[in-house]
Amino acid sequence: MNELEYDELTDQTLLAVEEAIEQQELDLDYESHGGLLSITFADNSKIIINKQPPLQQLWMATKFNGHHFEWRNGQWIDNRSGAEFWQLLTEVASLQAGSPLNFEHN
């Protein structure tokens, strides 16, 4: 994928995460600027998702671990665990919130 395609894809993904945050029943705070999205939970822990243009990756840092996602077959896949981005975000956000959240995306 070229640089423009990468930028469009990551921008769409970050916007979709913001929209998913708005749909949650829990009050989550978030800030977005310059290819970085920070989600803050009630206990002040954070999930940070940011673009990595030189590598054409999307990175996610949680209070548990860091993940590097690459675009494969129409999905962001963690290059270490093989986890899909939306599934992993749902899992770790629910753990950090202490309550079920849903970030599933179609």
Q: What one-character DSSP code corresponds to residue 83? A: -
Q: What is the pLDDT along the chain (106 residues), one digit of tens a residue?
A: 899 999 999 999 999 999 999 888 877 899 999 899 999 999 999 999 999 999 999 999 999 999 999 999 999 999 999 999 999 999 999 999 999 998 877 5
CB count within 10 Å of CB 21 equals 19
Conformational region of residue 34, where left means phi above 0, alpha means psi within -120 to 50, and beta covers everything else: left
Residue 92 lies in a domain: yes
CATH number at residue 80: 3.30.920.10
Domain that holds residue 62: 3-97
**Residues whose CB falls within 8 Å of the CB of residue 74, separated by 6 or more in sequence, listed in order:** none
**What count of residues does the chain have?**
106
The predicted model scores a pTM of 0.92
Q: How many domains is the chain partitioned into structurally? A: 1
